[in-house]
Amino acid sequence: MSQTISQDKAVTIHYTVKNPAGDILDQSSEERPLAFIFGRGMLISGLEKELEGKASGAEFSAVVAAAEAYGERHDGLIQTVPKNLFGEQEVTPGMQFRATTDHGEQSVVVVEVSDSEVTVDGNHPLAGLDLSFDVKVVDVRDATAEELDHGHVHGPGGHEH
């Protein structure tokens, strides 16, 4: 009797994720499937909803709306700061930095540089995008007490200690 995906199950999947243009953004490799404990927030909420109730061997495609993926884009996360905050470092568009904000640490991407100012975008790079997933469920099993305690899967595809 195969188990189905539900809270705290150890799940292993193969996946491919594409942007709306059909470009592959990320995928698991044949030898390294993604292993995780379901329902712990390790995946975007829209993909978790699609996985729930599926059993080993299930294959499906799903489009996850931006709101259930990495969120919508927020103009408030785009800020212009004085260039001197970066010191002597040369700053160019596309560079990523960790920044301390009112909402804690977050990644920002430089989008524009002038003589005196730098504009950074704190939105997740995939914010505002509907994402397409192709998923194959490889395995579903009960997570061990140790895995639940540690918050991740151990062994093949999971975390090795």
User: Is there a single domain that holds both residue 91 and residue 15?
Assistant: no
User: Is there a single domain that holds both residue 105 and residue 83?
Assistant: yes
Asked if pLDDT for residue 158 goes beyond 80, the answer is no
- Segment 48-57 shows an average pLDDT of 97
Contact between residue 95 and residue 103 where contact means Cβ atoms under 8 Å apart: no
DSSP assignment letter at 62:
E
The pTM for the full model equals 0.81
Locate 3 and state its tokens: 């188990």
User: Is there a single domain that holds both residue 102 and residue 135?
Assistant: no
pLDDT in tens, 119-151: 999 999 899 999 999 999 999 999 999 999 999
State the Cα–Cα distance between residues 98 and 123, nearest whole angstrom.
12
User: Is there a single domain that holds both residue 83 and residue 58?
Assistant: no
Segment holding 147, helix H or strand E: helix 145-150
pLDDT in tens, 16-25: 999 999 999 9
Contact between residue 119 and residue 111 where contact means Cβ atoms under 8 Å apart: yes
79 φ, ψ (degrees, to nearest 5): -135, 150
Domain that holds residue 114: 75-121
Helix, strand, coil tally for the chain in percent (to 5) = 15, 40, 45
Is 51 within a domain?
A: yes
Q: How many domains does the chain have?
A: 2
Is 89 within a domain?
A: yes
Q: How confident is the model at residue 30 (pLDDT cuts 50, 70, 90)?
A: confident
Is 155 within a domain?
A: no
